């Protein structure tokens, strides 16, 4: 197994250079995977996809296929900006009447949506949302990727096979 441990409690990270561009991520290894994709001739979207899946393995407490998000893209050659929204979705069988609003302001959760009776949209089996990360990465891949999907997820599969390295930071998280 390669040494994935942070052996120092170092908060600042040195700048890295690479062929084709650089990638910034909390995890150095995930950023290196994305930079390798750029060095191989991949589009920035290829690097985003590879980095996203690597982060899901290396930092599962912050990232991963169980979440959602949004990607704001600026395509310089076309001088065009667009957004790919891949936020979590409600299950198809959701019944709105099962989530009555209390009228007591915003929820106490991460997101400031209206408070629901008994916080049933936040805690318990009725709080499940359908993740959007994989669908969002797939849509970005469909639109702009140069490299095959399997090549972009292969580094994350290898990382997962190595297991999660537990160091001082992982323990803190």
Is residue 46 included in any domain, yes or no?
Answer: no
Q: Could you tell me the residue range of the domain that residue 99 belongs to?
A: 94-126
Number of domains composing the chain: 1
Is residue 112 included in any domain, yes or no?
Answer: yes
Q: SS3 letters for the chain? A: CCCCCCCCCCCCCCCCCCCCCCCCCCCHHHHHHHHHHHHCCCCHHHHHHHHHHHHHHHCCCCCCCCCCEEEEEEEHHHCEEEEEEECCECCCCCCHHHCCEEEEEECCCCCCCEEEHHHCCCCCHHHCCECCHHHHHHHHHHHHCCCCHHHHHHHHHHHHHHCCCCCHHHHHC
Task: Encode the chain (173 residues) as per-residue pLDDT tens digits.
Answer: 455 555 666 667 666 667 788 898 988 899 999 999 999 999 999 999 999 999 999 999 888 999 999 999 999 999 999 999 999 888 888 899 999 999 998 887 777 889 999 988 888 888 888 999 999 999 999 999 999 999 999 999 999 999 988 888 788 88
pLDDT attached to residue 43: 94
pTM of the model: 0.80
pLDDT attached to residue 20: 83
Is residue 84 included in any domain, yes or no?
Answer: no
Is residue 141 included in any domain, yes or no?
Answer: no
Is residue 111 included in any domain, yes or no?
Answer: yes
Is residue 114 included in any domain, yes or no?
Answer: yes
Is residue 10 included in any domain, yes or no?
Answer: no
């Amino acid at each position: 197994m390669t040494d994935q441990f942070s052996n120092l409690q170092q908060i600042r990270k040195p700048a890295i250079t690479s062929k084709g561009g650089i990638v910034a991520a909390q995890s150095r290894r995930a950023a290196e995977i994305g930079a390798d994709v750029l060095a191989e001739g991949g589009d920035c979207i290829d690097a985003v996809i590879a980095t996203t899946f690597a982060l899901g393995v290396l930092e599962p407490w912050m990232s991963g296929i169980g979440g959602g998000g949004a990607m704001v893209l600026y395509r310089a050659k076309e001088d065009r900006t667009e957004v790919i929204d891949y936020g979590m979705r409600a299950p198809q069988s959701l019944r709105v009447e099962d989530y009555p609003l209390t009228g007591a302001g915003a929820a106490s959760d991460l997101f400031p949506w209206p408070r629901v009776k008994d916080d049933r949209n936040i805690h318990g089996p009725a709080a499940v949302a359908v993740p959007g990360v994989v669908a969002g990465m797939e849509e970005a891949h469909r639109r702009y990727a140069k490299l095959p999907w399997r090549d972009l997820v292969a580094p994350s599969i290898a990382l997962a096979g190595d297991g999660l390295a537990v160091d001082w930071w992982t323990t803190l998280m």
